[in-house]
Structure 1
Amino acid sequence: MRFTDRLPTPPAEALAHSEQLAQRIRAAITTNDGSIPFREFMRMALYEPGLGYYVAGLRKIGKEGDFITAPEISPLFSQCLANQCAQVLAELGGGDMLELGAGSGVMAADMLLRLETLGCLPAHYWILDLSPELRDRQRQTLQATAPHLLARVEWLDTLPAEPIRGVIIGNEVLDAMPVELFTLVNGARVIRQVEMQGAGFGLTAVAGGTYTSEYNPALPGWMRSMADTLETGVMILIDYGYEQKDYYHPDRSQGTLICHYQHRVHDNPLLWPGLQDITASVDFTAVAEAGVDAGLELAGYATQAAFLASSGLEELFLAALEANPANQYPLAQQVRTLSLPSEMGERFKVIALSKGFTPGLVGFRLADQRHRL
């Protein structure tokens, strides 16, 4: 992806779809005396029933979509994650798994196949995903690559009714949660509002602002629901972000909001609602604090590179190379993308929160940076 101001114009059908959502947002603005918090705009743009980016059936992930995630880059990523899950399931004497937002289903398929090889398959593999289009893709992926394991997979509309023993997984889930946008004025937060400006939308003006950023107001409640869902085991979250001191560093004075449209990255979240992804980097200190406040234990924190190295990346790479020596170059490229600081290795972090599970996690044996939080 590249950061750019030059974006391809969406086709007429897509623009018509966006206009439907824009009309709904305008109605919300009118009802709310002329403006709505940015958090509400982001929620509608991403999740408004039938029209939001994540729920309206648009192609999002992969070459034909807007962005590519780590499981799409290489099965090695999911296999490393499966190694960590296998340790938890083995220590518990079996259990279940819940994946939050399973994307194209590639990670679920690759993890289940690796867990089968390790003799640590979960009794149930639940997927909580609100996108009908992605659910269909997930079924197709699993049917094509792991049909014999499909019977273990069940799709949910809400969190499981009963707490689970096992592992909760979320890859690039937190960054898609709506955030509150604020500007500091004389040391006080001023919550930014979205208003109608001409045919589009704009942010209400703030005089004297010195710094703009975001925070996730839903995080404490979301973490409490995760803690209630986990009876015993570990939750593992992978995303891009920073520790709090770096998140709100003066050099990052324009915040972290970015948008993805057809593999181009830009910084206008108010453009074409419903057609583009809107994300904010994750404040991992806030994640850790919300988890502890919800009754979970902070069980590990590391860069993606360190977590993958601890979880057997080198061994998995060598095994894949031995199985198909002709794949040496693409495999090496995949490892570089997942691990190099200039790629995903340092920008992405892995955080683990546990409940009633005390063994040290293998994914953090080489480098555990909990002290940085």
Structure 2
Amino acid sequence: MSSTTIRPMQLQLPEPGEDAQAASHTLQHQIAGEIAAAGGWISFQRYMELALYAPQVGYYSGGSAKLGKEGDFTTAPEISPLYGATLASLAAEVIAASPSVDNVLLEFGAGTGKLAHDILTELQARAALPQRYFIVEISAQLRARQQQTLAAFAPLVQWLDALPATFSGVVVGNEVLDAMPVRLAVKAEQGWQERGVALDAEGRLRFEDRSVDDLPLAQIPDAHELPPGYLTEVAPVAIGFMHTLGRMLASGPGALAILPDYGFPAAEYYLHDRDQGTLMCHYRHHAHTDPFYWPGLQDITAHVDFTAMAVAAVEEGAEVLAYTSQGAFLLNAGIGELLLRTSPEDSARYLPLANGMQKLISPAEMGELFKVLAIGKNVEWPQRMLRHDRTHRL
């Protein structure tokens, strides 16, 4: 084994309050206890799982704001209501054109509930409200916030603890895959090792590399050709989720899943010059790469290997309907037409919507960094949604 001590960078970030620091210290003590119980080392996947989801003190399980101006990062639904309206418009079109698809929606990981609210508001305006809007949410704190946000639609919304075995309707998973814990793989002179988490002599968190027998390298193309020192992520949790989702979609009469997230196909993910992986942390709208900075108080993510996600779903009988940039997806789905429902002469309403749309579709903003993977079974997919399709790159 080898060890790599990486101490927090000199980050110029806002200092957490006393209560937040106390919660982080509680989580660090819990992590240290688990490391000791495991013989001095845990996988980074387990560390990330604890940092994000440990009850009461994990990032998504604690009580602090996560999204928007008061949180740590901003997602597409927080930028503009046109995002949810566009997804709603496409969902309504697919449901109307696909006799096998029920008028039911399911959202996985609904954040603040803003996307659900915007989708339901648009569908209500179209007199096309679904029979049911399911939300799968594992965070009790976020579920409570969603219930407040969606109070006006309370009769339609139902919360679930896990994906159902079968489903007919439209599934939305906005920035879900990037928040699933990953394992870290590093190429050593003697072969691939796993980079996990240990404690230094002073009890501080540090990286440590170990040789393991079960590192899932199959998703890395030509892994044997990558040079020593190459560090990347593998995503068994997300791949497992996609197997479950693929089975759910394929086992029912007809269903569609729309998965926007940031990432690459495998051929672009594992480039030789992307040799330190894609792991990223978000704290108070600052992005950095130190996952040990105040555990539980910051988000930890990794880019999505969309090839691995698509392969897992297809192996279960689902079909890839489209893979493209977020900008192309939203334009194909009609976001521009939805903007023009507001008169440009009404500048107080039009300009914020136009600015928000620009952030969503511009290649310099979210339009190119974010991609959209659409998978399904027995779905009438609109032909225009195949403009600028990149499925051939997967």
TM-score (ref. length: structure 1): 0.93
Work out whether 1:303 is the aligned partner of 2:316: no
Alignment-derived partner of residue 371 in structure 1: 392
Provide the secondary structure at the position in 1 that maps to 2:162: coil
Work out whether 1:204 is the aligned partner of 2:208: yes
Work out whether 1:213 is the aligned partner of 2:242: no
Deviations 1:116-161 (A, max 9, x none): 2333322110011112221122122223xxx1x321111112223x
Alignment-derived partner of residue 270 in structure 2: 248
Work out whether 1:106 is the aligned partner of 2:114: yes
Work out whether 1:260 is the aligned partner of 2:282: yes
The whole-number CA distance in structure 1 between the counterparts of 2:159 and 2:237 is: 24
- What displacement does 1:272 show? 1.3
Q: How does 1:283-302 map to 2 (within 5 A)?
A: 283-302=305-324
Selected match of 1:343 from 346, 365, 371: 365
Q: How does 1:121-270 map to 2 (within 5 A)?
A: 121-143=129-151, 147=152, 149-160=153-164, 163-186=166-189, 188-197=191-200, 198-204=202-208, 209-230=228-249, 231=252, 232-270=254-292
Q: How does 1:57-136 map to 2 (within 5 A)?
A: 57-93=63-99, 94-136=102-144
Contact 1:74/1:334 (8 A) holds in 2: yes
Work out whether 1:275 is the aligned partner of 2:297: yes
Work out the number of aligned pairs and report it: 365
The whole-number CA distance in structure 1 between the counterparts of 2:10 and 2:259 is: 29
CA 1:361–1:186 in structure 2 vs 1: closer, same or farther (change >3 Å)? farther
The whole-number CA distance in structure 2 between the counterparts of 1:338 and 1:295 is: 32
| Structure 1 unaligned residues grouped into runs of 5+ | none
Contact 2:196/2:210 (8 A) holds in 1: no
| Structure 2 unaligned residues grouped into runs of 5+ | 1-8, 212-226
Contact 1:301/1:368 (8 A) holds in 2: yes
The whole-number CA distance in structure 1 between the counterparts of 2:198 and 2:331 is: 47
Provide the secondary structure at the position in 2 that maps to 1:192: strand
- What displacement does 1:67 show? 0.7
Selected match of 1:14 from 16, 20, 31: 20
- What displacement does 1:4 show? 8.6
Contact 1:88/1:233 (8 A) holds in 2: no
Contact 1:49/1:56 (8 A) holds in 2: yes
Provide the secondary structure at the position in 1 that maps to 2:314: helix
Contact 1:127/1:156 (8 A) holds in 2: yes
Alignment-derived partner of residue 50 in structure 1: 56
TM-score (ref. length: structure 2): 0.88
- What displacement does 1:68 show? 0.8
The whole-number CA distance in structure 2 between the counterparts of 1:296 and 1:279 is: 26
Q: CA RMSD in A?
A: 2.0
Deviations 1:169-214 (A, max 9, x none): 1000000000011111248321111001224201015899421110
Provide the secondary structure at the position in 2 that maps to 1:79: helix
The whole-number CA distance in structure 1 between the counterparts of 2:357 and 2:190 is: 43
Provide the secondary structure at the position in 1 that maps to 2:112: coil
The whole-number CA distance in structure 1 between the counterparts of 2:342 and 2:75 is: 20
- What displacement does 1:323 show? 8.6
The whole-number CA distance in structure 1 between the counterparts of 2:374 and 2:191 is: 33
Provide the secondary structure at the position in 1 that maps to 2:150: helix
CA 1:224–1:311 in structure 2 vs 1: closer, same or farther (change >3 Å)? same
CA 1:351–1:370 in structure 2 vs 1: closer, same or farther (change >3 Å)? same
The whole-number CA distance in structure 1 between the counterparts of 2:383 and 2:29 is: 50
